[in-house]
Amino acid sequence: MTDTPDLDDQPNEILAAAAAAKVHAEAAASAVAKQARQWPIATISLGVGIGSAAIAAAALYATRGQRK
């Protein structure tokens, strides 16, 4: 069963559009709340990978003069 308002239940199209917009806003708010609970694992792992590569590059750069 859907929660979308029926045009026959509303006295005019303005009230029907307002009811449809309210249902749409409530659905969007619940979707945003669900998405906010999830951690962006891919972004975090990408950041960790780039950070560890930067540390390795810095260590190689720092020791390049000592290889004689």
Taking the domains of the chain in order of start, what are their residue ranges?
1-37, 39-68
Question: What tens digit of pLDDT does each residue of 25-68 get?
Answer: 888 888 777 666 666 778 888 889 999 999 999 999 888 876 55
Is the CB of residue 24 less than 8 Å from the CB of residue 3? no
Average pLDDT on 7-21 reads: 78
- pTM flag (> 0.85): no
Are residues 20 and 6 in contact, defined by beta-carbon separation less than 8 angstroms?
A: no
Q: Residue 4 carries which DSSP code?
A: P
Which tokens is 15 given?
């009230």
